[in-house]
Amino acid sequence: MSWKTGTAMAMALLLLGACGSSKSERGLSGAAIGAGVGAAGSAVTGGSLLGGAAIGGAAGGAAGVLTDEDDVDLGEPIWK
């Protein structure tokens, strides 16, 4: 994995943990968003789309499950 991919995935992990309130919601949404970010990152860097989606999905799911809703607080949603 290149440093660009690693940096992009690390930055995305900070955002992925902020979706949902229960651990299962955060894990599922983190995995879905992580898969998308991983596939996009792989497409940009010329890597395998499926590999990027798998790594991003695993990382996003883990970030969602392992963080608490209060750990990553992005503030009130814009629609509230």
Count CB neighbours of 20 within 10 A: 15
Q: What is the pLDDT along the chain (80 residues), one digit of tens a residue?
A: 666 766 666 666 656 555 677 788 778 888 888 888 888 888 888 888 899 899 989 998 898 888 877 776 555 555 55
This prediction's pTM: 0.66
57 Cβ neighbours under 8 A, 6+ residues apart = 31, 32, 34, 35, 38
